[in-house]
Amino acid sequence: MSTSKDDALRAINKPAAYGPDLDVNQYSRQPKNWEPCPISSLPKEILERILEVGVLPERENRAASFFQIDHSVIFRAVQSLFEDKVEIMSAREALEKYDWLKDYWWKIVSVDTDKYTALAELAWDQGYFIRIFEDQKVTMPLQACLFISTDNLNQNVHNIIIAEPGSEAQIITGCTLHSSVQRGLHVGITEFYVKEDAKLTFTMIHNWAQNFDSRPRSGALIEDNGVFISNYMCFKPLKSLQMYPVAYCRGVNARARFNTIIYGTGTSYIDVGSKIVLQNEGCRGEIISRAIATDEAQIYARGFLQGEHGNTKAHLECRGLILSDKAIIYAVPELMAKVQGAELSHEAAVGKIAEEQVQYLMARGFSRSEAEALIVRGFMDVSIFGLPKELEREIQRMIDITTERAL
């Protein structure tokens, strides 16, 4: 039997199906060394950066926190109120602690998917393990931060999230870097296990730099009556980003939803898709994506719904707003039904800001630029995502901060 390592070695030169092919050897494997410390005692510059991706320095407003800088885990703790509800630790620590964890490792995402998954196996730099215990409802969000402090660094994390039966939680993951970092490669493997009757809301916010590359690889497995909601946001320019997370609705009545908001600026090359596979009776899926392209950004907004079982239903809605003649939005919605009774639908629309809308707002007294900004912000309205109100407000606030600067 071949090991993960063997599989990885065979895939180390395998380009990804989408996105620019990167030479993974051009990045450094020499991180800065960071000693464990509370998040709030990190340098001010870092604290400012993490706020933009939803990570809070204080422990009070998060049920649990995980913080990694470069290749070092500097903090991980569960707030005392939630100690019997959830556990959080580095992935390496978890693998040592739990023998059974190997049954969750590279089980949804294949190690030989491409050179990036291979890299995450062969040059693995931590990541986190989060488990929400059976029947526990964690009312406060958990947070994880993957931070890069060294220019041109390659960081490869592997995260495992397990929502045990009947549990419920929201996780916010922020990935960002120090202002001195211009280049680098982040590879993030995340495997989600949403068990019977569990509900997991996962929100990931990326803020990278102009010459930075990012290759997340995620997969979710949802069992009977489980609900998985994934929110992804990327507002800052970067060199290239390519990801195509998949959710497998394996159990009866399993539900998956992907919400994505991309704001492409500069010369960013962004190829982001979401895929839902409906594998059992009563499964439901929804993909909603919003892409805004300005300057010379190129955005590929993909979506794939695959119906493999009768009495399943899924919808894909992809809207793109193009704000510059040098930008490109390429919307690729795909549906594949393999059986009768798989009801799949999509709507896709790409266009510029409607003049009629601008004029309407100007007739209310807004200037042209105010009207356009209002329309663009409205386009990124997260209230359609069906998130808990508290989380919705928090995300909207982050969007407002980012777009205020961009517009």
Partner 1 sequence: MVKCILEIQNLSVEVSGKRILNNVNLQIPEGEVHVLFGPNGSGKSSLIMALLGFPAYKIVSGRIIFKGIDITSLPTNERVKMGISVAFQNPPVIRGVKLGRILSYLMPDENKIGELLVKVKFPQSFLERDINLGFSGGEIKKSEILQVLAQNGDFIVLDEPDSGVDVENLRILGTIINDALHGRSALIITHLGVILQYINANMAHVLMNGTIVCSGSPVKILGQILNEGYAWCEKCPQVKTMRCEL
- In the set 354, 386, 393, 404, which binds partner 1 (CB under 8 A)? 354
With H, G, I as helix, E, B as strand and everything else as coil, classify residue 356.
helix
Q: How far is the CB of 180 from partner 1 (least distance, A)?
A: 36
92 binds partner 1 (CB under 8 A): no
| 152 phi, psi to nearest 5 deg | 65, 20
Binding partner 1 by CB under 8 A: which of 18, 124, 330, 366? 366
* Residue closer to partner 1 (CB basis): 325 or 365: 365
Q: Does 389 bind partner 1 (CB under 8 A)?
A: no
Residue type for 389, please? K
HSE (CB half, 13 Å, CA atoms) of 335?
A: 18
Residue 77 near partner 1 by CB under 8 A = no
Q: Which of 122, 252, 375, 406 binds partner 1 (CB under 8 A)?
A: 375
Query: DSSP assignment of 140-168, as one string?
Result: SPEEEEEEE-STTEEEEEEEEEEE-TT-E
- Could you tell me which of 317, 308, 213 has the C-alpha nearest to residue 269? 213
Element (H, E) at 64: strand 64-69
Give me the least distance between CB of 45 and partner 1, in Å please: 33
Strand ranges, E, within 120-244: 128-132, 142-148, 153-163, 168-177, 183-194, 199-206, 211-222, 227-234, 240-243
For partner 1, give the closer residue by CB, 238 or 382: 382
Q: Please tell me whether residue 381 binds partner 1 under the rule CB under 8 A.
A: yes
E strands of 240-393, at which residues? Answer: 240-243, 246-249, 255-264, 269-278, 284-293, 298-307, 312-322, 328-337, 342-351
- Using CB under 8 A as the binding rule, whether residue 379 contacts partner 1 is answered as yes
Least spacing, CB of residue 316 vs partner 1, in Å: 17
Determine the interface stretch with partner 1 among 72-80, 188-196, 233-241, 357-365 (rule: CB under 8 A): 357-365
Nearer to partner 1, 150 or 260 (CB): 260
Short-list 57, 92, 64, 71, CA closest to 146: 71
Give the interface size with partner 1 as a residue count (CB under 8 A).
Answer: 23
Site for partner 1 contains 360 (CB under 8 A): yes
Residues that bind partner 1 (CB under 8 A): 354-357, 359-368, 374-375, 377-381, 383-384
